[in-house]
């Protein structure tokens, strides 16, 4: 099967099976002349970095409802954007999202650059996202290489080199199949294929548009590709978080430093997270031990977070953090681990 036929077979499949997404201009619409909004494409692509479509859907809708244009987002308060991103994870994305919006609004007249090279210069836009926005929003013949494409191409071409060493080779192989016509549809088609047919564990080869040319399937090794280096075990870290409620219902919270874990997000003041944390109460009070701990897993460690709660009178001055009035505190503004702590403390207080 020639490369052009392989490409055509996938586009043909995409025309019939493209998934519907709030940010996507489907193949039919595109054919009718509808062009995607680059802002929507960029926003969705950043949200989709290492994140499932299901998790992104509602966040995308809330963001675009609240900030319909890149100019609106650029003018937003940092805390509002971080709060709206809360729960989606990888919070550097939200910080870079704002930086990027402000560069586009301030230095590019509110229009996203339409070339991969220019997009690559923007904060939070790396090789994948630059190609994705160039291809999907501007129909540039750029090649996307994400986890889906790595899997699909390593199987199609029987690439046995383990990741991430195989990336350059996979980039070349993927590039050979990228068409000059409909590159935006093609980019989305390969990713849809990887997400729905050519899945990690049990690929549905029987209904795959590439079942004939697929070398891994011919060899019967499709489920073993791509090869990857084994992952390191996650250590367990321990920490203590302090939830202080003032008599008027305000909660003691702090804005975390801009860099590092949960950077820029709201959180409960607490100890360091390590082997044996020391008590670090942010305000003098009668702290009560909550008889349960939050268990939460981050990318590279497991956390067991002990909780202390206290009721404090109005007028106290905390050593760390500041009191957020009851009507300005939304638990949904917290990153998940901090929201878990709030939920658990609330449950324990009722018991």
Partner DNA sequence: AATACGTGGTT
Partner DNA sequence: TAACCAAGTAT
Residues in contact with DNA by the rule CB under 7 A? 19, 21, 24, 44-45, 48-55, 87-92, 96, 123-130, 132, 146-148, 151, 188, 191-192, 194-195, 200-202, 228, 230-234, 260-263, 296-300, 335-337
- Under 8 Å between Cβ of 155 and 222: yes
Least distance to DNA, CB of residue 319, Å: 24
Least distance to DNA, CB of residue 183, Å: 14
d(CA 166, CA 89): 27
Instruction: Tell me the H-state helices in the chain.
Output: 3-17, 27-31, 38-47, 53-66, 70-74, 78-85, 92-107, 116-119, 127-138, 147-156, 167-177, 183-196, 215-219, 336-350
* Residue where the block lists tokens 């999907």: 136
The smaller minimum CB distance to DNA, of residues 310 and 345, is found at 345
- Under 8 Å between Cβ of 38 and 139: no
- Under 8 Å between Cβ of 344 and 294: yes
Least distance to DNA, CB of residue 132, Å: 6
- Under 8 Å between Cβ of 282 and 320: yes
- CA dihedral for 313, 319, 320, 324, sign (positive or negative): positive
The smaller minimum CB distance to DNA, of residues 107 and 319, is found at 107
The smaller minimum CB distance to DNA, of residues 283 and 342, is found at 342
Least distance to DNA, CB of residue 270, Å: 14
Active-site annotation holds for 278: no
Closest to 303 (Cα-Cα) out of 350, 268, 254, 331: 268
Least distance to DNA, CB of residue 120, Å: 8
Residue in 29, 45, 279, 286 annotated catalytic = 45
Least distance to DNA, CB of residue 53, Å: 5
- Under 8 Å between Cβ of 165 and 239: no
The smaller minimum CB distance to DNA, of residues 132 and 345, is found at 132
Least distance to DNA, CB of residue 93, Å: 7
- DSSP structure string for 200-238: SSS--GGG-TTTTT-HHHHHT-GGG-S-BPPPPPPPEEE
Closest to 261 (Cα-Cα) out of 299, 211, 231: 299
- Under 8 Å between Cβ of 36 and 210: no
Q: How many CB atoms lie within 10 A of CB 55?
A: 13
The smaller minimum CB distance to DNA, of residues 66 and 300, is found at 300
Q: How many CB atoms lie within 10 A of CB 242?
A: 26
The smaller minimum CB distance to DNA, of residues 129 and 271, is found at 129
- Under 8 Å between Cβ of 298 and 231: no
Burial-class residue 91 by CB neighbours within 10 Å (0-12, 13-18, 19+): buried
The smaller minimum CB distance to DNA, of residues 24 and 182, is found at 24
Q: Which residues are catalytic?
A: 45
């Amino acid at each position: 099967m020639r490369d052009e036929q392989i490409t055509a077979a996938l586009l043909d499949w995409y025309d019939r099976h493209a998934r519907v997404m709030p940010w996507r201009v489907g193949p039919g619409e595109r054919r009718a002349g509808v062009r995607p909004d680059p802002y929507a494409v960029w926003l969705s692509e950043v949200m989709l970095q290492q994140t499932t479509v299901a998790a992104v859907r509602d966040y995308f809708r809330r963001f675009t409802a609240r900030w319909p244009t890149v100019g609106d987002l650029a003018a937003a308060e940092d805390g509002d954007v971080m709060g709206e991103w809360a729960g989606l994870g990888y919070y550097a994305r939200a910080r870079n999202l704002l930086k990027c919006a402000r560069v586009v609004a301030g230095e590019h007249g509110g229009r996203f650059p339409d070339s991969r090279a220019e997009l690559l210069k923007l904060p939070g836009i790396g090789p994948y996202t630059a190609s994705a926005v160039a291809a999907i929003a501007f129909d540039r013949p750029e090649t996307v290489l994400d986890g889906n494409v790595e899997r699909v191409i390593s199987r199609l071409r029987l690439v046995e080199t383990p990741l991430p060493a195989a990336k350059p080779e996979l980039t070349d192989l993927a590039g050979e199949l990228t068409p000059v016509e409909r590159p935006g549809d093609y980019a989305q088609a390969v990713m849809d294929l990887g997400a729905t047919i050519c899945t990690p564990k049990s690929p549905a080869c029987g209904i795959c548009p590439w079942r004939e040319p697929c070398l891994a399937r011919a060899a019967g090794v499709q489920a073993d590709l791509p090869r990857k280096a084994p992952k390191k075990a996650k250590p367990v870290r321990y920490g203590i978080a302090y939830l202080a409620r003032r008599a008027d219902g305000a909660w003691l919270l702090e804005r975390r430093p801009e860099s590092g874990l949960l950077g820029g997000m709201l959180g409960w003041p607490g100890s360091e997270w390590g082997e044996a944390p020391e008590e670090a109460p942010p305000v003098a009070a009668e702290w009560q031990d909550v008889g349960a701990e939050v268990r939460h897993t981050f990318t590279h460690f497991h956390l067991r977070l002990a909780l202390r709660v206290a009721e404090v009178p109005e007028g106290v001055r905390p050593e760390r953090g500041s009191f957020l009035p009851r009507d300005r505190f939304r638990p949904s503004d917290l990153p998940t681990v901090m929201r878990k702590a709030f939920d658990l403390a609330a449950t324990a207080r009722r018991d």
